[in-house]
A and B are shown apart, each in its own frame.
Chain A
Amino acid sequence: METLLSVRDVTKHFGGFTALSGVSLEIGRGERFGLIGPNGSGKTTLINCISGALRNDSGSIAFAGEEVSTLPAYQRTRRGIARSFQIPRPFTSMSVLENLIVPLEYVQHRGSLHTADTRSEALEILRMMGLADKAETPSNQLTQIELRKLELARAMAARPRLLISDESMAGLSGNEVEEVLAILRTLNESGITIIMIEHIMQAVMRFSQRVVCLVAGQIICQGTPEQIVQNPEVQRAYLGA
């Protein structure tokens, strides 16, 4: 499989605390990749480093063969790395539709603002996410599941090649989890590589082709979901020994 994202020896400190130490990953084009680990293990720090919200202290991050670790976040988004936020961060002064127009204008159509029909494109994405009837709703009036979907929809509006879903299912009911899983699967079928960070084990294990487990800023094992579940170190990290 062709490599889309290659993380090599990435380290990140916060003062004296080492959040990531020497993390290396290879993610192939079109892959469904799961990232698990107990609270505080560095999952969100890792994707913050990949998406550019944080700069890694050392190591390299290459996306589609290009070194991106020194680029600001918006440049990485324009190159095809999109993310959702663990705690939804909608643009609260805007309608749901307008939330999507921001990335459409700033990523996809920044050279063709006058000719582009961003509205209908945004509506198209909302339809796919099952949010079409909420298009004109102010985004501060959404329910939890709708907020999660909006996070994904806005990330999709950046037309990514790699979508990082940071706990998109946290706090959702069983049916809602199924709904989000179905959306992510459809996106993956359309060719988008997906990194899923999740605490709901059953969801990650069903979704991912390959899973990495992060503990205290280090990768303790990687493999297929079956291998991960059987790995004694993972069991120790999660259940204690």
Chain B
Amino acid sequence: MKFWISCAVAMFAAVALGATLKNEYYFFAGYTVLMFIVLATAWNILGGYAGYVNFGTPAFFGLGAYTAAVLFKAYELPLALQILAAAAMSGLLGLGAGLLTLRLRGIFFAIATIALVVIMETLFINWRYAGGATGLQLLRPPVTPPFDSYIKMLFVVMAGMAVASVAIARYIETSWIGRGLRAIRDSEEAAEASGVPTLKLKVFACTISGALMGAAGAPMPMYLSFIEPASTFNLNYAIGALASPMIGGTAHYLGPVIGAILLSSLQQLVTVTISNEVNVLVVGVMLVVFVVAAPDGILGLLRKVRWKRS
């Protein structure tokens, strides 16, 4: 109950911000933070719960973005349908890639997911209709009321997706599925011996995770009014999606949320005040600091402090 009230409050806050704040920059920046909440939460379902480190976030994210762009170019589909189609496509990619790669363990799986990014990028560089290497310019359709600017609308839509993805992650975490995934992370042999269908569960997690990443990518072409392969399949998405749960804590659905808010806000701040190059450095430094000082993330640190006091 408390969780659903928090969700409603978060959504209400997003809408209220859209109605009151005038400076559009905040929505540009806020959109990115919210997008990383979705990406980090999605990453955590496979990477955090099941312990399968996925560097393929840009592949899923980019496929979602291109699905939306191509559907918009071909049929001028409304944004909601673009998002659903993007989720479906990236979910399918998750299913297929999962079936092929999830028999690999540890580092081998991680390498396979990097290959996935390269494959997807190459594919879209060579697809003329989707703009090829030069990219595709897209004209935003007129904004639908009650919103008064397109970027505010995207902001609220992304807020909705962030809430939805956290709710999905929470459901998975607290149900028998989450327990099975944790068993896989702790010991795959013992999980299998305890009746857990490990391959099925991993493929399921990969599919859901991929679908959410794809959904997070769908509004991107409209956000930039442009799409091109190099920035869409950028490994920075992989690093951001992976670093946020590491910083926040992978064991709880709030971990990626806290990590993403902290990391992306800081990155936005640094991009504006210092430079875009330093913003990449920030991720690296924070990741190193947290891996050394708080391997279980902020949530793990808090738990330790509380445990010491009691």
Contact = CB atoms under 8 A, between A and B. Distances in A.
Interface of A: 51-53, 72-74, 77-78, 82-83, 85, 89-94, 98, 101-103, 105-107, 110, 113, 154-155, 157-158
A98 B179 contact: yes
Given A105-B179, A106-B180, A73 B192 contact: yes
A102 B192 contact: no
Interface of B: 176, 179-180, 182-183, 185-187, 189-199, 251
6 contacts: A74-B192, A74-B197, A89-B186, A93-B251, A94-B179, A106-B180
B194 A103 contact: yes
Given A74-B193, A77-B193, 20 more contacts: A51-B193, A73-B189, A73-B192, A74-B194, A74-B195, A77-B192, A77-B195, A83-B193, A85-B193, A89-B186, A90-B186, A91-B183, A93-B185, A94-B179, A94-B183, A102-B196, A106-B176, A113-B176, A158-B193, A158-B194
A89 B185 CA distance: 12
B189 A85 contact: yes
Contacts of B185: 93
Nearest to B188: A89
Nearest to A164: B193
A235 B182 CA distance: 46
A43 to B, nearest CB: 17
Contacts of A113: 176
Contacts of A92: 186
Nearest to A139: B186
B186 A91 contact: yes
Contact of B194 (A52, A53, A93, A107): A107
A77 B198 CA distance: 13
A158 B185 CA distance: 20
Given A91-B182, A91-B183, A72 B192 contact: yes
Contacts of B194: 74, 77, 102-103, 106-107, 154, 157-158
A183 B181 CA distance: 30
Contacts of B251: 93
Contacts of B183: 91, 94, 102
Nearest to B197: A74
A56 to B, nearest CB: 17
A53 B196 CA distance: 13
Given A85-B190, A89-B187, A94-B186, A107 B195 contact: yes
Contacts of A98: 179
Contact of A93 (B186, B190, B192): B186
B74 to A, nearest CB: 42
Among A52, A93, A155, chain B packs the most CB atoms within 10 A around the CB of A93
Nearest to B49: A93
A101 B47 CA distance: 23
A34 to B, nearest CB: 21
Contact of B197 (A72, A102, A158): A72
Among B179, B180, B190, B196, chain A packs the most CB atoms within 10 A around the CB of B190
| Shortest beta-carbon contacts, A-B, top 10 | A106-B195, A107-B195, A103-B194, A91-B186, A89-B190, A89-B187, A73-B192, A77-B195, A105-B176, A102-B194
Contact of B190 (A52, A72, A91, A101): A91
Contacts of B195: 74, 77-78, 102-103, 106-107, 110, 158
A72 B202 CA distance: 15
Nearest to A77: B195
A122 B170 CA distance: 24
Given A94-B182, A102-B179, A89 B189 contact: yes
Contacts of A158: 193-195
A102 B182 CA distance: 10
Nearest to A98: B179
A105 B182 CA distance: 14
Contacts of A53: 189, 192-193
Contacts of A74: 192-198
